[in-house]
Amino acid sequence: MKTFTIAVIAGDGVGTEVIPEAKRVLEAAVKKHGVALVFEDFDWGSDHFFRWGRMMPAGAIDLLQQCDAILLGAVGHPDVPDHTTLNGLLLPIRRAFDQYANIRPAYLYPGVQSPLAKAKGGEIDFVVIRENTEGEYAQVGGFVYHLQPEEVAIQTSVFTRRGVERIVRFAFELAVKRDKKKRVTSITKSNAQGYSMVLWDRAFKEVAATFPGIETESLLVDAAAMNFIRRPESFDVVVGSNLFCDILSDISAAVVGSMGLAASANLDPLRRYPSMFEPVHGSAPDIAGKGIVNPLAMILSAAMMLEHLQISAAARDIEAAVAAVLAEGKVRTPDIGGHSHTSAVTDAILEKLG
């Protein structure tokens, strides 16, 4: 029997609630396909920070590197600054394993109500591809006159030709593979960011020329934000920088019904290192501990992990089970208009998986 080792970082807040649900579903899904998963749990996150002064131990990356993939719940705690939690755990993992492609699907499941009155199930179906290792998240900068009245903060974005070309090429290859609208939309703000985003636009044009069968569109990020709401059905693959696509993928998640349905994959497309799979949502301290968090973003992220590990039949089984439960509409958490508890949603998925 083929066995995969999965590193599991539940993290903070609702992360600790959705991870056990994803494990239950994964175990049931792979069993039918002659595959075994061994979960290695790491208790890293804000509690680790309170005890040891760091979000994860010094040797964390070496431990993760031995695994086939990483499942992450959420990071963030009201008593720890957000830049500490993010720079202490999530961002170093993305960079250490060169997980340069962050894939964030936006699909309006039949049975889920979009806040957009005219949107019908199945009609919104696109993927946001976020550059995941550089750009505005490069952490280059510093303070001058730190904490003094005349304080200065400098934050520099880093856009490399290699980094832009590879993410844009990834987006085009995905548009070919999806075989849907065959359209790639590039997001920049080159009227204001006259160096980095101009480099992006040039690289986009050059890569696009090598994919003659794919239609292209270039939007400024403000126009993209508007069009995600005005004409979401027109998008197929959307590619943009680290910060822009982080923001836009919150809009796309809202448009397809809930952040609680938004899955994501942090991929090393070259498969040199483990890739990481996490819901787009954070630790959600406002609902943490109430047993009402929607587990489906985590469960769908776990399905993306199975797809990446080439256990595709099991991934498809999970996606079909999620679609069936959402279409029936009997069991759902409050974020999508229901009254069910987190574990009841997982139970319904397990029932569909048989």
| Minimum CB–partner distance for residue 151 and ligand GGG (Å) | 25
Stretch that binds ligand GGG, among 51-59, 70-78, 152-160, 326-334 (CB under 6 A): 70-78
Q: How many CA atoms lie within 13 A of 119 on its CB side?
A: 28
CA dist., res. 215 & res. 184, Å (int): 6
| Minimum CB–partner distance for residue 102 and ligand GGG (Å) | 7
Stretch that binds ligand GGG, among 24-32, 41-49, 57-65, 72-80 (CB under 6 A): 72-80
| Minimum CB–partner distance for residue 210 and ligand GGG (Å) | 30
Strand partners, 158: 135
Note the helical H segments in 9-127: 15-31, 46-52, 60-65, 82-85, 91-96
Give which of 207, 253, 226, 220 is closest to 104, Cα–Cα: 253
- Write out the DSSP string of 246-288: HHHHHHHHHHTT-GGG-EEEEE-TT-SS-EEEEESS---TTTT
The Cβ of residue 3 has, within 10 Å, a number of other Cβ atoms equal to 10
279 binds ligand GGG (CB under 6 A): yes
Between 55 and 72, whose beta carbon lies closer to ligand GGG? 72
Q: What are phi and psi of 40, to 5 degrees?
A: -115, 110
278 binds ligand GGG (CB under 6 A): yes
| Minimum CB–partner distance for residue 74 and ligand GGG (Å) | 4
Stretch that binds ligand GGG, among 71-79, 119-127, 212-220, 313-321 (CB under 6 A): 71-79
| Minimum CB–partner distance for residue 250 and ligand GGG (Å) | 10
Are 201 and 188 contacting, i.e. CB atoms less than 8 angstroms apart? Answer: yes
**Active-site positions?**
145, 189, 222, 246, 250
In this structure, what DSSP letter does residue 110 have? T
Number of residues that bind ligand GGG (CB under 6 A): 11
| CA pseudo-torsion sign 341, 110, 278, 156 | negative
CA dist., res. 115 & res. 229, Å (int): 10
283 binds ligand GGG (CB under 6 A): yes
Determine which residue in the list 26, 35, 72, 261 makes contact with ligand GGG, applying CB under 6 A: 72
Give which of 157, 99, 82 is closest to 273, Cα–Cα: 99
203 binds ligand GGG (CB under 6 A): no
Between 278 and 319, whose beta carbon lies closer to ligand GGG? 278
- Write out the DSSP string of 146-161: TTSTT-EEEEEEE--H
129 binds ligand GGG (CB under 6 A): no
Query: Which residues 233-262 are close enough to bind ligand GGG by CB under 6 A?
Result: 246
| Minimum CB–partner distance for residue 214 and ligand GGG (Å) | 27
CA dist., res. 117 & res. 126, Å (int): 19
282 binds ligand GGG (CB under 6 A): yes
305 binds ligand GGG (CB under 6 A): no
Between 114 and 242, whose beta carbon lies closer to ligand GGG? 242
Determine which residue in the list 67, 74, 259, 303 makes contact with ligand GGG, applying CB under 6 A: 74
Q: Which residues make up the interface to ligand GGG (CB under 6 A)?
A: 72, 74-76, 86, 90, 246, 278-279, 282-283
